[in-house]
Amino acid sequence: MTNCPYRGIQIDMSNQSTTSRYASEVQSRRTFAIISHPDAGKTTLTEKLLLYGGAIRLAGSVKGRKAQRHATSDWMELERQRGISVTSTVLNFTYRGYQVNILDTPGHQDFSEDTYRTLTAADSAVMLIDVAKGVEPQTKKLFHVCRLRGIPIFTFVNKLDRFGKDPLELMEELEAVLGIRSCPMNWPIGMGPDFQGVFDRSSGQVLLFEAGRHGERIVDTGSYGLEDPALPDIIGQAQYQQLKDEIELLDVAGDPLDLERVARGELTPIFFGSAMTNFGVGPFLEAFLELGPPPSPKPTEAGELIPPDSERFSGFIFKIQANMNPAHRDRIAFLRICSGRFEKGMAIRHGRLGKEIKLAQPQQFLAQERSTVEEAYAGDIIGLFDPGIFRIGDTLCEGTPFDFTGIPRFSPEHFASIRPRDTLKSKQFKKGLEQLALEGAVQVFYPEGNYGAPEPVLGVVGELQFEVLQYRLGSEYNVEVVLTRLPYEHARWMKGAGFKPQDFQRQDTTCVTDHNGRPVVLFKSDWALRWAEQNHPGLQFLTTAPMGLADTEA
Ligand code: G4P
C-alpha cells in the first residue's frame, strides 16, 4: 500500500564506534528545536508533545506564559520577578526509552540572536507551518540557519481543523520557497470542520480522532485499514474516494522516504495535524522519535570529528542567560554535551582560560521545573552557574583542550547608534558594552577606520535585545544610554580581494567594521542589497561570520 515503510530504518552511524558503553545512551537521545513563525502553534505543539510524552497530564498550563510573552514591557517585569526564565531554553522528558530534549527557539518579541544560536545545539528541527499561511518569513530565516548547520528538518503542518491551503499546494510551496522536497508520512482526511484524522502511510492505517475537551487530554484514536468496508460510511464516500486517489498519486509520483536525503537537507518528512485538538500529535511523536537523528559527531577547529559516544567528555556553550534581577546577578551558561558522560561535580578543562574547573551545580530542565542533574550524555543540555567565566562558543572537555568549530555571528536586522547620556560615564559605558558584546547580547560595529569611536553602531537580530541591553547597562554598569535607531535593514560581512569600503559609502549603504575589524556593509533595503550584489559579482556578501578569536577573548 505504501512505498515508504520506515519502521526499523536506522540513521547511518557507521562512522561511530559501536563498542562504546555510551552508545545506547547516545542512540536514545533526540535533541531538537521547533522552528516556526509566531502564532503557528509552537507553544501548543510543545505542550502537546509533553502531554503525549507523559511529562504533563493536562495541557493548558503554558497558556498564561504566552499572553505574557506578547507584551514586551511585561517581559522585563516578568524576568525581574521570577529571575531567569529557565523554562524557555530546554525541556526534557523520557518517553519509551527515548531521552527527549526540546530546545526553545523564542519567536515573538523575544526573537534574537539566541534563537539562531540555539539551533547550533540541536540535532534536528521540527518546522511547524500553519496550513493557512504556508511558509512565513521567520520560518524561512530559521530554516536557512538549519540548512547552514546541516540539521535535518521534519515538518508538521498545523491547524488542519481550520481551512487552509491544499496539502499538495503546500508541498510545492516548500520546494519553491525553501528548495526542499517533502515526503508525506501521513495524509489528512478532510480539513476545517471536516478534518477527521490522517492516513498513516507507514502502517497503511486510517487514524480517526475524536475531539477531546479542547485538547487538554490525549484523544481517542480509531484505527481502520484503508480497505475496511466500514470506512467509506465512517468518513463519507466522497472523502474516502478523494483519500484513495491522493494516496495513489503520492505512491506513484511522490518522493520515497530516504533518510540519507533527509540528513542532507534535501528532503523533509511531512506530517499533517492539529496541535490544538491533538489530531496527529501522537503519531508524529512516535515517528519523529524513531526517524529523528540521535547526536552525531561534531567537528573541531582542527578538522577532527568527535564521536558522541567517545569516552571523553566534551561540550560547548551555546547560550548565556543573564538574570535580570539586580538582587541575583548570576548567569546561566547552557552547555550542549557532545561526547562522553557528564557527572555532577566533575572537573573539566576550560580551554580558553587554560584552567581546570569543577561543574558543581549543574541544572537540567525537566518539563518546566529545574532539577539538579546527576549525569548526562551527548545530546543533553545542562545549565551551569556562570560567575563570568564562560563565553558563547567555549569548549569544555576532559583531557587535552580543543575547540569545537565556532558558533557564527548571525546577520543583525535592526541597528541603532548608542552613546552614554552622561559623557563622564564613558569608561563604564565602554566596559559594559564590551562585556555585553562578548557575552553575545548584542553586536557592536564601528565606523570604518574608527575602531573604538565614541558612538558605535549596535546590531541586533531581534528588537528586544536593544531593550535588554539598555536595561542591563543601567542596572549592571550604572550607565544610562541614548539609543538612536538607524534606518538599516541588513548587514553582510564582505569577502573578496576587490572589496573597497568607499564603494559602499553611499546614500543607502554604509561600511563599518565588526569587533574583530572585519568589514561589514549595512544596507537600508532589500533593493540596496540586491543592487550591490549585482554590481559586485566578484565579492561575497556573507550572512554569518565565524566568531573570531577576539570575540572569545576576555
Ligand atoms: P506560537 O507559540 O507559535 O506563537 O503559537 P501558539 O501555540 O501560542 O498558538 C497561536 C494560536 O494558534 C493560539 O490561538 C492557539 O490556540 C492557536 N492554535 C495552535 N494550534 C492550533 C490548531 O491546531 N488549530 C487551531 N485552530 N488553532 C491552533 P490564540 O487565539 O492566539 O490564543 P488562545 O486564546 O487559543 O490561547
Q: How far is the CA of 42 from the centre of ligand 1 (A)?
A: 8
Higher pLDDT, 345 or 206: 206
Closest atom of ligand 1 relative to the 45 alpha carbon: 7
pLDDT of residue 1: 33
Task: With a cut of 90, say whether residue 368 has pLDDT above it.
Answer: no
Higher pLDDT, 313 or 108: 313
Closest atom of ligand 1 relative to the 67 alpha carbon: 36
Calpha distance 115→119 (Å, rounded) = 7
Q: How far is the CA of 463 from the centre of ligand 1 (A)?
A: 23
Could you give the 3-state DSSP secondary structure of residue 503? Answer: helix
Q: Are 142 and 125 in contact (CB under 8 A)?
A: yes
pLDDT of residue 362: 66
Closest atom of ligand 1 relative to the 44 alpha carbon: 7
The residue type of 262 is V
β strands within 247-372, DSSP E: 267-272, 298-299, 305-306, 314-322, 331-339, 341-343, 347-350, 355-358, 363-366, 369-372
Task: With a cut of 90, say whether residue 454 has pLDDT above it.
Answer: no
Calpha distance 282→288 (Å, rounded) = 10
The DSSP bridge pattern shows strands 305-306 and 298-299 to be: antiparallel
**What percent of the chain clears pLDDT 90, i.e. is strictly above it?**
59
Cell numbers placing 127:
518546522
Q: Give the closest residue (by CA) to ligand 1 atom 31.
A: 39
- pLDDT tens digits, residue range 544-554? 986 654 344 33
Query: Using CA of residue 52, residue 53, residue 58, residue 63, what is the dihedral sign?
Result: negative
Supply φ then ψ for residue 521, to 5 degrees.
Answer: -105, 135
Q: What is the mean pLDDT of residues 222-226?
A: 86
Backbone torsion region of residue 76, taken as left when φ is above 0, otherwise alpha when ψ lies between -120 and 50, otherwise beta: alpha
Q: How far is the CA of 282 from the centre of ligand 1 (A)?
A: 18
**If pLDDT is split at 50, 70 and 90, which confidence band does 273 have?**
very high
pLDDT of residue 214: 59
The Cβ of residue 182 has, within 10 Å, a number of other Cβ atoms equal to 23
**If pLDDT is split at 50, 70 and 90, which confidence band does 16 have?**
very low
Task: With a cut of 80, say whether residue 452 has pLDDT above it.
Answer: no
**What percent of the chain clears pLDDT 70, i.e. is strictly above it?**
83
Task: With a cut of 80, say whether residue 200 has pLDDT above it.
Answer: yes
Calpha distance 69→186 (Å, rounded) = 33
Closest atom of ligand 1 relative to the 38 alpha carbon: 4
* Ligand 1 contact via 39 beta carbon (within 6 Å): yes
Q: Give the closest residue (by CA) to ligand 1 atom 34.
A: 63
Q: What is the mean pLDDT of residues 469-474?
A: 89
Calpha distance 379→241 (Å, rounded) = 44
**If pLDDT is split at 50, 70 and 90, which confidence band does 370 have?**
low
pLDDT of residue 123: 97
β strands within 373-526, DSSP E: 375-377, 381-386, 395-397, 409-410, 414-420, 443-447, 457-460, 481-486, 490-495, 509-513, 519-523
Place of cell 496541535: 275
Backbone torsion region of residue 8, taken as left when φ is above 0, otherwise alpha when ψ lies between -120 and 50, otherwise beta: left
pLDDT of residue 54: 81
- pLDDT tens digits, residue range 43-88? 889 889 988 888 776 666 554 444 444 433 344 443 444 343 434 5
Q: How far is the CA of 34 from the centre of ligand 1 (A)?
A: 15
Q: Are 209 and 224 in contact (CB under 8 A)?
A: no
Q: What is the mean pLDDT of residues 298-317?
A: 94
Cell numbers placing 539:
565579492
Q: Give the closest residue (by CA) to ligand 1 atom 7.
A: 41
Task: With a cut of 80, say whether residue 107 has pLDDT above it.
Answer: no
Higher pLDDT, 426 or 110: 426
pLDDT of residue 551: 45
> What mean pLDDT, rounded, does the chain reach?
85
pLDDT of residue 232: 92
* Ligand 1 contact via 88 beta carbon (within 6 Å): no
* Ligand 1 contact via 65 beta carbon (within 6 Å): no
Q: How far is the CA of 195 from the centre of ligand 1 (A)?
A: 17
pLDDT of residue 15: 46
Calpha distance 255→260 (Å, rounded) = 13
**If pLDDT is split at 50, 70 and 90, which confidence band does 114 have?**
confident
* Ligand 1 contact via 36 beta carbon (within 6 Å): yes
* Ligand 1 contact via 41 beta carbon (within 6 Å): yes
- Least reliable range by pLDDT among 21-30, 151-160, 296-305, 430-439: 430-439
Those residues whose C-beta lies under 8 Å from the C-beta of residue 346, and which sit 6 or more positions away, are 313, 358, 359, 398
Q: Give the closest residue (by CA) to ligand 1 atom 15.
A: 41
Q: How far is the CA of 45 from the centre of ligand 1 (A)?
A: 9
Calpha distance 268→197 (Å, rounded) = 21
Task: With a cut of 70, say whether residue 295 has pLDDT above it.
Answer: yes
Backbone torsion region of residue 283, taken as left when φ is above 0, otherwise alpha when ψ lies between -120 and 50, otherwise beta: alpha
pLDDT of residue 365: 55
pLDDT of residue 447: 85
- pLDDT tens digits, residue range 128-168? 999 999 999 999 999 999 998 899 999 999 999 999 999 99
pLDDT of residue 50: 87
